[in-house]
Structure 1
Amino acid sequence: MSSTVRKIRMGFVGGGDGAFIAQAHRQAAGLDGRFELVCGAFSRTPENTKRTGAALGLPSHRCYENWERMLEVEAGLAADQRMELLVIVTPNNLHAPIAGKALRAGFHVFSEKPAALNLAELKNLRSEVIQSGRIYGLAHTYLGYAMVWQAREMVSNGLIGSVRKVLVEYPQGWLSEDVAAQGNKQANWRDDPGQSGIGGCIGDIGTHAFSLAEFVAGQQIKYISAMLGSHVAGRQLDDDASMLFKMSGGASGVLIASQVCAGEENPLKIRLYGEKGGLEWRQEDPSTLIHRSIDQPMRVLRSGKGQPWLCEAASARMRLPAGHPEGYLEAMANLYGDLALSILRDLPGHDAPGVPGIEVGLRGMAFIETAIANHHAEAKWSEIPDNLNPGAL
């Protein structure tokens, strides 16, 4: 990716002292030197906001007591001083309200997923996005991995033939015990429907598996048959999900998402099989893409900037030569890099090429609501609405 003339000024809502995901965002945004943190409303607690801002080197007057005040003041600053991009890393229930007001105030938005609490709220936000003319992106970080783009390109070029089978899984183990009762704040709000929405595990990590499957296969998941459950007493939302699915191009598949797989960390994995072969990618070894052929030995493709066997989209998302693994922060940095290019070039429309946007958010929310409804219904299969005008990255 080419260098930029100036840094884009960004602000944060959420992500106070102790918040992992906000720290990852700030590190990723800073990786290529294209962004400058200028303000924030980091916590509902003023002391936390002040402490976080001071640690980040911000002047006290750019550390705001709440996000409403931040948007108001920043919108009134001179054009060459005010925030340009707002990053939202709050609990889910605040994503849409903050994004909508920020868009109306003229700011670009990059939000943690999900984009909203439910599909109705998300459709309203989509109207706000379109009317604003501002860029809106979602932090589906796993879609920033270079070798995920390589897999997508190989499928698109027909290297494995027409896709027949897709297996995608995301098992975690961090909720195997009642860690919310032990004081874990992240677990606590994720099990509160008022803050998290109607989906627990299905919304938190199931949507990552869902989006990855659609992105790499180049097909929509059209029908699902889902089983959700909660394995820890007293838990309000699901912590485990398994489902069969059928895709718009004829492929069938299986999706597993669970946060009670004791001992697991973050082994998001996808396997695709077509008429001529298959592909396999694992998030815990993101530099490797396995290619299986029906009549040739297995190939192991490795990442590395400038490698001749990699597609242009994958190579453009690599910073290091072969043998130097790239990981989660680099994947998120790729999303920030694509955001920067669109903002600096003042591209028309609300999508930043390469960045999951509002349409990806709509697909994910439709998936969550359809899966939960199917689990509670007697119907074997439920159709995910296909009139959401999904966009391409």
Structure 2
Amino acid sequence: MSKPQGIRYGMVGGGEGAFIGAVHRMAAALDGDFTLVSGAFSSDSDRNLRSAAALGLDSARVYPTLQAMLAGESALPADQRMEVLAIVTPNHLHAPAAVAALDSGFHVMSEKPMALNLDEALAIEAAVARSGKLYGLTFTYSGYPLVEEARVRVARGDFGVIRLVQAEYWQGWLSLPIDRDGQKQAEWRTDPARAGLGGCLGDIGTHAFHLAEHVSGLAVEAVSADLATHVPGRRLDDDVAALLRFEGGGRGVLKATQVAAGEENGLRLRIYGEKGGLEWSQMEPNTLILRWLDRPAEIVRAGGPGLDALTTARLRTPAGHPEGYVEAFANLYGSFGRALRAGAKTPAAGTVDWFPGIQDGLRTMTFIEAMIENSAGMAKWTSLAGVADARRRAQSPGRIQG
């Protein structure tokens, strides 16, 4: 039987010189399930056209703006127009692009964080509900095979009741004021108007938080936070720490920083229950360490024996052949594509078709606002449910327009 045509997608942002757009395109193409058919890659006309030409796109499907792309693609026959919009812009454009695309009848795969703030995130939630379309977020690290293995082992009770969770994400690339020297990626990530309420918090702290909840299977109930800005003149946080209280009595620590000079991409997760625990590091993603109260530690390897079927479904190569960031990204695209073809309305939790969706986005945006509120105030703890409830009560409909 022949393979079905790739899911047609368009991209907003991600033009010449952009990092994450290229990663999305590689991930979408890896399994042959997606085909790029249109784009509005840059507000700079020349860069937009050069980007499209380099990707071999039909010039008729290259648009000067997102609005033009949504209108142009909607006018095409159903079997030709794009089906999914990939959003790879700076953060301030995520919510307007998502709402406009959903309301125009397109599915959305968005770079994280989902929005500038929780109000915008709630507007996306409303657009998903009224459109009936799929919405996905690329919390990339949840796509690693051994992250799934860790989640499965916690969920089936291997370690007993979970007591301790430690998530950390250490980078050093913003240790100097390169954002003031014109470095493009640093410049917008430290600009509140384009990055949102959090700097390091929104950029990488959300990854650590998402991984902590996703693998532990527990929701964070409250945070006690300390946000710092070490580089003089920087307008957003570059260093974040928090104590976490999980449902069921578990306790946790989260640390994210972008000023640990010399660090590369040190995302690490440790989870401990009454009978044992686990440790996973993004820079050694093919290894999962298991520790036990009553027997020697174990090392589990990607592609090796003893893995759950949900883990092996996310692997592409035999043991000893490294898989990494792009493959993890591709796993999320693959799950999103399967859900789309099946007509699913939401991610299928606990299956190979799971991907981060609207609820993951809302949780991380609530986390950002709770952290900022707690760090700025005098309260010892801030409840995430309290923050979410207050925003829902205060939100006025139609805040984000397409």
> Which TM-score tier does this pair reach, normalised by the shorter chain?
over 0.9
Q: In the alignment, which residue of structure 1 is the partner of 2:338? A: 341
SS at match of 1:257: strand
Inter-partner Cα distance in structure 1 for 2:308 and 2:330: 19
* Residues 1:184 and 2:188 aligned together: no
Q: In the alignment, which residue of structure 1 is the partner of 2:149? A: 150
* 1:336-365 deviation per Cα after TM superposition (whole angstroms, max 9, x unaligned): 100111112222x24464110111111001
Q: In the alignment, which residue of structure 2 is the partner of 1:280? A: 279
* Residues 1:311 and 2:308 aligned together: yes
* 1:103-135 deviation per Cα after TM superposition (whole angstroms, max 9, x unaligned): 111111000111111111211210110111111
Q: Note if contact 2:369-2:387 (Cα within 8 Å) is conserved in structure 1.
A: no
Residue segments in structure 2 that go unaligned for 5+ positions in a row? 390-402
Q: In the alignment, which residue of structure 1 is the partner of 2:81? A: 82
SS at match of 2:290: strand
Q: What is the correspondence of 1:234-253 to structure 2 with a 5 Å cutoff?
A: 234-253=233-252
Q: In the alignment, which residue of structure 2 is the partner of 1:23? A: 22
Aligned to 2:324, which of 315, 324, 327?
Answer: 327
Residue segments in structure 1 that go unaligned for 5+ positions in a row? none
Q: In the alignment, which residue of structure 2 is the partner of 1:108? A: 107
* 1:68-96 deviation per Cα after TM superposition (whole angstroms, max 9, x unaligned): 10010001100111001100000111111
* CA displacement at 1:249 relative to structure 2: 2.1
Q: Note if contact 1:140-1:356 (Cα within 8 Å) is conserved in structure 2.
A: yes
Q: Which amino acid aligns with 2:91?
A: N
Q: Which amino acid aligns with 1:72?
A: A
Inter-partner Cα distance in structure 2 for 1:114 and 1:267: 19
Inter-partner Cα distance in structure 2 for 1:387 and 1:256: 21
Q: Note if contact 1:359-1:388 (Cα within 8 Å) is conserved in structure 2.
A: no
Inter-partner Cα distance in structure 2 for 1:126 and 1:227: 29
* 1:173-232 deviation per Cα after TM superposition (whole angstroms, max 9, x unaligned): 010011112211111111111111111100110000000000010101111110010011
Inter-partner Cα distance in structure 2 for 1:164 and 1:119: 29
Q: Which amino acid aligns with 2:338?
A: L
Q: Note if contact 1:241-1:258 (Cα within 8 Å) is conserved in structure 2.
A: yes
Give the TM-score normalised by the residue count of structure 1: 0.96
Identity percentage over the alignment?
53
- Flag the 1:321–1:3 CA change in 2: closer, same or farther, 3 A: farther
Inter-partner Cα distance in structure 2 for 1:65 and 1:209: 36
* Residues 1:358 and 2:358 aligned together: yes
Inter-partner Cα distance in structure 2 for 1:58 and 1:74: 14
Count of residue pairs the alignment pairs up? 385
Q: In the alignment, which residue of structure 1 is the partner of 2:97? A: 98
Q: Which amino acid aligns with 2:121?
A: L
Q: Which amino acid aligns with 1:378?
A: M
SS at match of 1:181: helix
Inter-partner Cα distance in structure 1 for 2:386 and 2:33: 36
Q: In the alignment, which residue of structure 1 is the partner of 2:54? A: 55
Q: Which amino acid aligns with 2:357?
A: G
* CA displacement at 1:388 relative to structure 2: 6.2
Inter-partner Cα distance in structure 2 for 1:273 and 1:216: 11
Q: Note if contact 1:24-1:329 (Cα within 8 Å) is conserved in structure 2.
A: yes
Q: In the alignment, which residue of structure 1 is the partner of 2:398? A: none
Q: Note if contact 2:366-2:387 (Cα within 8 Å) is conserved in structure 1.
A: no
- Flag the 1:3–1:197 CA change in 2: closer, same or farther, 3 A: farther
- Flag the 1:350–1:295 CA change in 2: closer, same or farther, 3 A: closer
Give the TM-score normalised by the residue count of structure 2: 0.93
Inter-partner Cα distance in structure 2 for 1:30 and 1:137: 17
* CA displacement at 1:44 relative to structure 2: 0.8
Q: Which amino acid aligns with 1:172?
A: Q
Q: CA RMSD in A?
A: 1.5
Q: Note if contact 1:8-1:34 (Cα within 8 Å) is conserved in structure 2.
A: yes
* 1:235-289 deviation per Cα after TM superposition (whole angstroms, max 9, x unaligned): 0000000111110021101100000000011110000111111100000010000
Inter-partner Cα distance in structure 2 for 1:249 and 1:328: 33
Q: Which amino acid aligns with 1:311?
A: D
* CA displacement at 1:308 relative to structure 2: 4.1
Inter-partner Cα distance in structure 1 for 2:111 and 2:138: 5
